[in-house]
């Protein structure tokens, strides 16, 4: 389905990004991974995807808070893969704290990585997509692109910004075969969250199941985590012919969180 296409997925050495990269590779897309990982970890991931799906796999460790580094990454994809056909802006970071005590450096980092990086990759990729007459841009937003939670000022601001950016890019690309949408997951059970569950259970003196149900999933009516595979499947649909009329959509995948 995606043979001959190249997907650049930021923040894809683990978690949601890796799930999306695997789903796209399974449909035939060559994949460029981006994120933090050791050389051995990168080589293992590249070998895994190549062996499983028979696609070409690249990697960039570019600092996505640096516009010049992003330009270098996009140049690498253009030279070695013929440009970006599918751009998945997934890289992100989080910090929790009251706004009066929120470290300014953490605010700057979150806005830079979660929002500005998506602006830079998009502005550098969209011209090539327009020239080809086909492109897909998928932004990993969050339920926090639609609703807020206390103590997450930078994250919520960035994700609301991603929703707005998605709509603008969707309008600008609409007549050029370029589609831009955002996926808004609720809590996803990633290795990072798994570690938080254990730490929270120990700190509160409750079981890990209670942490999952009563703390992390308190806002999700299904009381079930979203999976990386489900998000990957949605990304594949957005790249398919069946998803071609999806444009500027802010798609909830949150177990009913934002239905309340």
pLDDT confidence band for 101 (50 / 70 / 90): very high
Give percent of the chain above pLDDT 70.
100
* Cβ neighbour number for residue 16 with a 10 Å cutoff: 25
Q: How far apart are CA 108 and CA 221, in angstroms?
A: 33
How crowded is residue 242: how many other Cβ atoms within 10 Å of its Cβ? 10
- Confidence tier at 203 by pLDDT (50, 70, 90): confident
**Mean pLDDT of the 80-106 span:** 96
Instruction: Report yes or no: 70 and 117 within 8 Å, Cβ to Cβ.
Output: yes
pLDDT confidence bin for 128, thresholds 50/70/90: very high
Q: What mean pLDDT do residues 63-90 have?
A: 98
Quick one: pLDDT at residue 200? Answer: 83
- CB hemisphere CA count around 133 (13 angstroms): 0
Give the whole-angstrom CA distance, residue 130 versus residue 172.
10
DSSP string, 221-233: TT--PBPHHHHHH
The pLDDT tens digits of the residues spanning 149-197 come to 999 999 999 999 999 999 999 999 999 999 999 999 999 988 878 877 8
CB of 235 closer than 8 Å to CB of 20: yes
CA distance 45 to 234: 22
Catalytic residue, from 53, 76, 155, 189: name it: 155
Lowest mean pLDDT among 73-87, 120-134, 184-198: 184-198
What is the reported pLDDT for 165? Answer: 98
43-81 CB burial, b ≥16 within 10 A, e <16: eebbeebeeebebbbbbbebebbebebbeebbebbeeeb
**pTM metric for this prediction:** 0.95
The number of beta carbons lying within 10 Å of the beta carbon of residue 176 is: 16
Q: Which residues are CB-neighbours of 212 under 8 A, at least 6 positions away?
A: 197, 225
Instruction: Specify the pLDDT at position 68.
Output: 98
* Spatial contact of 63 and 10, defined as CB atoms under 8 Å apart: no
- Mean pLDDT value across residues 27-54: 97
Q: Annotated catalytic, 189?
A: no
Instruction: Supply the pLDDT for residue 8.
Output: 99
Among 65-79, 158-172, 196-210, the range scoring the smallest mean pLDDT is 196-210
Residue ranges covered by each domain of the chain? 6-186+226-252, 189-224
- The mean pLDDT value for 215-228 works out to 94
Q: What CATH number has the domain spanning 6-186+226-252?
A: 3.40.50.720
Which tens digit of pLDDT belongs to each residue from 136-148? 999 999 999 999 9
First to last CA, the chain: 37
């Amino acid at each position: 389905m995606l043979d001959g296409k190249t997907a650049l997925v930021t923040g894809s050495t683990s978690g949601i990004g890796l799930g999306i990269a695997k789903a796209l590779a399974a449909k035939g897309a060559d994949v460029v991974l981006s994120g933090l990982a050791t050389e051995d970890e990168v080589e293992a991931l590249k070998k895994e995807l190549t062996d499983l799906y028979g696609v070409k796999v690249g990697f960039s460790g570019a600092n996505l808070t640096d516009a010049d580094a992003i330009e270098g990454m996009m140049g690498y994809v253009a030279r070695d893969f013929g440009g970006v056909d599918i751009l998945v802006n997934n890289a992100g970071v989080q910090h929790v704290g009251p706004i009066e005590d929120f470290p300014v450096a953490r605010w700057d980092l979150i806005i830079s990585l979660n929002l500005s990086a998506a602006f830079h990759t998009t502005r550098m990729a969209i011209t090539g997509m327009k020239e080809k007459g086909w492109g897909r841009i998928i932004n990993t937003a969050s339920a926090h692109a639609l609703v807020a939670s206390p103590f997450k000022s930078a994250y919520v601001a960035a994700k609301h910004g991603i929703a707005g950016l998605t709509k603008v890019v969707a309008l600008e690309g609409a007549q050029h075969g370029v589609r831009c949408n955002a996926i808004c997951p609720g809590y996803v059970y990633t290795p990072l969250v798994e570690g938080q569950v254990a730490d929270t259970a120990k700190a509160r003196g409750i079981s890990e199941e209670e942490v999952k149900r009563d703390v992390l999933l308190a806002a999700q009516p299904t009381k079930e985590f979203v999976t990386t595979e489900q998000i990957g499947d949605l990304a594949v649909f957005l790249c398919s012919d069946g998803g071609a009329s999806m444009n500027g959509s802010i798609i909830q995948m949150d177990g009913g969180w934002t239905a309340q």
